[in-house]
Amino acid sequence: MSKRTHHGRSILLLSVGHACVDVYQGAVAALVPFFVAERHYGYAAVSGVVLAASLLSSVAQPLFGALTDRRPLPWLLPVSTLLGGVGIALSGVSGSYGLTLAFVALSGVGVAAYHPESARVARLAARRAPGGRGGHRGMAWFSLGGNLGFAAAPLLVAAVVGAGGLRLTPLLVLPALAGTVLCLPVLREPERRRAAGAEPPQPSAADDRGSFVKLSLAVVCRSITFVGLSTFLSLFVAQRLGGGAAAGPAGGAAGGTAAGTAALVVLYAGGAVGSVLGGALADRWGRVAVAGWSYLVAAVAVAGVLLVPGPALYLFVALTSAGLYVPFSLQVTLGQDYLPSRIGTASGITLGLTVSIGGLAGPLIGALADATSLRTALLPLVLMPVLSWALFRALPEPVAPESVASESVASARRGEPAQQGEAAQAGA
The DSSP letter of residue 197 is: T
C-alpha dist (Å) from residue 42 to 98, 253, 254:
15, 11, 14
- DSSP, residue by residue, 34-76: HHHHHH---HHHHHHHHHHHHHHHHHHHHHHHHHHHHS--TTH
What CATH fold (topology level) applies to the domain 7-189+202-397?
Growth Hormone; Chain: A; (1.20.1250)
What does pLDDT average to over the chain?
Answer: 81
Tens-digit pLDDT profile for residues 376-415? 999 999 999 999 999 999 999 987 555 544 444 444 444 4
Angle of helix 3-39 relative to helix 136-164, nearest 10 degrees, comes to 30
Minimum mean pLDDT among 61-75, 130-144, 349-363: which range?
Answer: 130-144
Span 251-261, average pLDDT: 62
Q: CA-based angle 74:75:81, to the nearest 5?
A: 105
Q: Which pLDDT belongs to residue 244?
A: 46
Q: How confident is the model at residue 205 (pLDDT cuts 50, 70, 90)?
A: low
307 or 350, greater pLDDT:
307
pLDDT > 50? residue 425: no
Helix orientation angle between 419-427 and 401-413, rounded to the nearest 10 degrees? 150
Q: What is the pLDDT of residue 88?
A: 95
Q: Is the pLDDT of residue 132 over 70?
A: no
What percentage of residues in the chain have a pLDDT greater than 70? 80
The mean pLDDT of 317-321, rounded to a whole number, is 94
Task: Please give the average per-residue pLDDT across 318-322, as a whole number.
Answer: 93
Interval 143-170: pLDDT, tens = 888 878 887 888 899 999 988 899 999 9
Query: Which of 174-183, 237-246, 283-292 comes out lowest in average pLDDT?
Result: 237-246
What pLDDT is recorded for position 58?
A: 72
- Global pTM reads 0.72
* Model confidence pLDDT, tens digit, residues 326-348: 998 899 889 989 988 888 888 77
Q: What is the pLDDT of residues 188-202, one digit of tens each?
A: 655 555 555 545 445
**What number is the average pLDDT over the span 19-47?**
88
pLDDT given for residue 246 in this prediction: 42
Tell me the DSSP string of 339-400.
Answer: STT-HHHHHHIIIIIHHHGGGGGHHHHHHHHHHS-HHHHHGGGGHHHHHHHHHHTT---PPP
Question: Is a pLDDT exceeding 80 seen at residue 289?
Answer: yes
Percent share of the chain, pLDDT over 90:
36
Longest dimension (CA), the chain: 76
Task: Give the pLDDT confidence score for residue 56 in this predicted structure.
Answer: 73
Between 423 and 313, the higher pLDDT residue: 313
Which residue type, as a one-letter code, is found at position 280?
A
